[in-house]
Amino acid sequence: MDLDDRTRVADVMSAPLETIGADVPLREAARRMRDQDISALVVTTGGGCIVTQSDVVGAVADERDLAATTVRDVMTEDVETVTPDLMMQEVAAMMTMYGVKHLPVVDDDYVGMVSSTDIAEHLS
């Protein structure tokens, strides 16, 4: 990443933020991600939680019943967040350090999502 690049999260984040309830069936979360061509949803009733395509794949690999399994059963908890004014270099470093592909963007409330895909598109 270009160290002179002054691009901020707000310039590349996905917005509006897509959310889902914790008690929604996981199958519905998978459908929404597919239909909206996104790979993560912020969970509205989880307090800093997201559900990702990786969470869904894990549930399938574990042979869980996707109709009976809820988002709460597989969601990723205590997710790190970033602010809209953070520089993209810092976001890339955070993703590497924490081993994550998605970071919710918070400005008093959730306002968007920044992903490794957003970073790759920004660099291309």
pTM for this predicted structure: 0.86
Digit-coded pLDDT (tens) for 6-53: 889 999 998 888 999 999 999 999 999 999 999 999 999 767 899 999
User: What sign results for the dihedral spanned by CA atoms 62, 37, 100, 26?
Assistant: negative
- C-alpha 79/C-alpha 47 separation (Å) is 9
